[in-house]
């Protein structure tokens, strides 16, 4: 069965024989792979910082790595946010909804992120 998280369909969770959604574009597949790859890298960075702390490494080095993790998480967040905004606006335009309402909803989500 497909699950959807942050506008990204997890294709590895599609049951055998079930057809993939026609809404899942090549762009979304590439985006999903990119986001998952970035998150795995972030996981590795976090484990590395844990080891640095266990090894009593220099606090300046730890802070530098934490800054890198923070920047990486922000990039992932912006990527997912942009995907959501694009999907929301496209869907609402197709349904004939007021674009101002769509933008307002996107702004609320953007404020949560920032």
Tens-level pLDDT at each residue, the chain (114 residues): 444 444 554 444 333 333 444 456 676 777 888 999 999 999 999 999 999 999 999 999 999 999 999 999 999 999 999 888 888 888 898 999 888 888 888 889 889 887
Alpha helices in 15-113 (DSSP H): 26-54, 59-94, 99-113
Residue 73 CB partners (closer than 8 Å, separation 6+): 42
Contact 42, 65 (CB under 8 A): no
C-beta atoms surrounding 8 within 10 Å: 22
What structural domains does the chain harbor? Answer: 4-113 (1.20.58.1000)
Total-model pTM:
0.70
Look-up of token digits 């999907």? 87
List the one residue out of 63, 1, 75 whose CA is nearest residue 37. 75
Kindly report the number of other CB atoms within 10 A of residue 85's CB atom: 18
Task: Please give the DSSP secondary-structure letter assigned to residue 83.
Answer: H
SS3 4: strand
């Amino acid at each position: 069965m497909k699950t959807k998280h942050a506008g990204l369909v997890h294709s590895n969770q599609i049951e055998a024989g079930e057809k993939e959604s026609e809404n899942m574009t090549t762009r979304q597949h590439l985006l999903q792979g990119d986001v998952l790859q970035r998150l795995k890298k972030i996981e590795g960075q976090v484990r590395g910082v844990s080891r640095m702390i266990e090894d009593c490494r220099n606090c300046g080095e730890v802070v530098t790595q934490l800054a890198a993790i923070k920047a990486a998480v922000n990039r992932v967040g912006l990527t997912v946010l942009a995907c959501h905004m694009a999907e929301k606006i496209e869907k609402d335009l197709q349904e004939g909804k007021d674009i101002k309402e769509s933008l307002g909803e996107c702004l609320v989500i953007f404020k949560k992120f920032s």
